[in-house]
Amino acid sequence: MDPAAVNATHDPALSSWVESANAPQGDFPIQNLPFASCRRAGSTEAFRGGVAIGDQVLDLAALHALGVMEGAAAEALAAGSAPALNALMGQGARASSALRAALCAALRSGAALAPRLRPLLIPQSAVEFRVPADVGDFTDFYASIHHATAVGRLFRPDNPLLPNYKWVPIAYHARASSVRVSGFDLHRPVGQLLPPGAQQPQLAASRRLDYELEVGVYVGEGNALGSNVPLEQAERHIFGLCLLNDWSARDIQAWEYQPLGPFLAKNFATTVSPWIVTLEALAPFRTPWARPASEAAPLPYLDAPAMRSHGGIDVRLEVWLQSAAMRAAGVPAQRLSHSSLRDSWWTLAQMLTHHTTNGCNLKPGDLLGTGTQSGPQPEEAGSLLELTAGGKQPLRLAGGEQRAFLEDGDRVTLRGWCERHGYARIGFGEATGTVLPARVLE
């Protein structure tokens, strides 16, 4: 199957018997149907797969127990009933597509199954989530040339972009064990940093804590060790996308990252949104991928006509911040920036293919981060490091506060959605985290 092909599940005329799914600006219409792992909040129930429809969650384990699906959809449903979605991801794009089509048929207006499925719905407000997959490995890329150039300009004004950037999808091996689902509140990290003017480092809490606006990519079907995934097949190995905040301690990072790259500055926390929007659901929002005419084409293994025609995806992204003082005063969160995945220098397929070029084996549920997604305009910067010019130009918040970097009590929320004339708007939900004071080291 072609994950980029528009099919009957994308029909904008489709409506659902779940009335909240028909709201025009909602995140979760019947054309979306993203997956998560959840249970009733405060219960000791087992986590199991769920699908968002409007403001409700369809319990996949309860649906599986009804025995109303057949064939590939039934097999995928059984896998999606588990506490983690790795087995469903590993069945591949055809299986998840069959399940998505069956769910669409069962949830559409006039569906015969509606009376039997209605009791299986749980309000989203009444569930708690976990990370939807058991993430075995996590690789974070650096795919936005606008971000790479802006950050490089802060540290290397005369040579902001290193010569390999335009040729190779840069990445580092990130920490899977500290990936947490939206709502996780993180403590300000402690590490070695070198204060301005100091001659030796000190162990201290980070004073330059930052967020990074990213898209997360969950691997579906894996590849064997020693094999590689050609570019033309790469998207068949992608299950879906989420929002991802790669929290970053910029002062710790500046001291430790040479010569080997990020370590304690990055591995203390990564926040993901609970919902995985399948690659199939994103088909109507594909865009051409192209380089400026003045730029050389990528090496042949990273280039293909299909990728150039529709390898990009217009996922619109936002960052919102609400300080503790704003919450206390009832002041709503303030939008700091916006951007789109369509401006990425490297596509999702290029990242996955390059990852396997040396025979690296990806597994179902592995997580890839795109790196900070910044656009070409100043207001499209995906981190405070860029927005404040390295802290030299603080932002003014509603209520009069200023921010160069994050303060204790700050709540950061990432949002994402896709919309295009002639198709239903679909959303990603939110990825939210609040900064807590640093813990005292024992």
| 184 within 8 A of 212, measured Cβ to Cβ | no
Q: Residue type for 395, please?
A: L
| Extents of the domains making up the chain | 8-130, 138-436
Cα-flanking dihedrals φ and ψ of residue 193, to 5°? -145, 160
For residue 159, name the pLDDT band (cuts at 50, 70, 90). confident
Residue pair 297/262 in contact by the 8 Å Cβ criterion: no
Q: How crowded is residue 67: how many other Cβ atoms within 10 Å of its Cβ?
A: 9
Average pLDDT, the chain: 96
The pLDDT assigned to 399 comes to 85
DSSP 12: T
Q: Report how far apart, in Å, the C-alpha atoms of 327 and of each of 170, 254, 430 are.
A: 38, 32, 18
Phi-psi region of 67 (alpha: psi -120 to 50; beta: other; left: phi over 0): left
DSSP state of 336: E
Which pLDDT value is given to residue 195? 92
- The residue annotated as part of the active site, out of 147, 237, 354, 355, is 147
Known catalytic membership, residue 354: no
Residue 1 has pLDDT above 80, yes or no: no
CATH of domain 8-130: 2.30.30.230
Measured in whole angstroms, how far is the alpha carbon of residue 256 from the centre of its chain? 26
Answer whether 296's CB lies under 8 Å from 267's CB. Answer: no
The distance of Cα 386 from the centroid of its chain, to the nearest Å, equals 20
Termini Cα distance of the chain: 54
> Between vectors from CA 6 to CA 104 and to CA 121, what angle results, nearest 5°?
20
pLDDT for the residue numbered 128: 98
In this predicted model, what pLDDT tens digit does every residue of 62-96 receive, in sequence order? 999 999 999 999 999 999 999 999 999 999 999 99
The answer to whether residue 285 scores a pLDDT higher than 90 is yes
**In this predicted structure, what is the pLDDT of residue 258?**
82
Residue pair 340/314 in contact by the 8 Å Cβ criterion: yes
According to DSSP, residue 383 is labeled S
Q: List, for residues 407-425, the tens digit of each pLDDT value.
A: 999 999 999 999 999 999 9
Q: CA distances (Å), 11 to each of 7, 108, 271, in order?
A: 7, 11, 32
Tell me the average pLDDT across 340-346.
Answer: 97
Q: Are 323 and 410 in contact (CB under 8 A)?
A: yes
Rounded Cα distance, 265 and 426, in Å? 33
What confidence score (pLDDT) does residue 313 get?
Answer: 98
If you average pLDDT over residues 40-56, what whole number do you get? 98
What is the number of residues in the chain?
Answer: 442
CATH number of 138-436: 3.90.850.10
> In this predicted structure, what is the pLDDT of residue 410?
98
CA distance 16 to 37: 22
Q: pLDDT exceeding 90 applies to what percent of the chain?
A: 93
What pLDDT, on a 0 to 100 scale, did the predictor assign at position 66? 97
- Write phi, then psi, for 57 (nearest 5 degrees): -125, 130
How far, in whole angstroms, is CA 199 from its chain's centroid?
39
Mean pLDDT of 335-364: 98
**Residue written as token pair 């397929």:** 349
Cβ atoms of residues 307 and 29 within 8 Å: no
Residue 255: alpha-carbon gap to chain centroid: 28
CA distance 96 to 422: 25
Where are the strands (E) in 81-178, listed by range? 121-123, 127-130, 138-141, 171-174
Among 52, 133, 205, 148, CA closest to 372:
148
Q: Specify the pLDDT at position 155.
A: 81
CA distances (Å), 111 to each of 19, 75, 108, 212, 317, in order? 13, 21, 6, 42, 34
- Which pLDDT score is estimated for 138? 98
Q: Which of 34, 10, 30 is nearest to 242 (CA)?
A: 34
Question: Does residue 442 have a pLDDT over 80?
Answer: no
Helix, strand and coil percent figures for the chain, each rounded to 5: 25, 25, 45
Looking at residue 405, its amino acid is: F
Please, which pLDDT band fits residue 127 given cuts at 50, 70 and 90?
very high
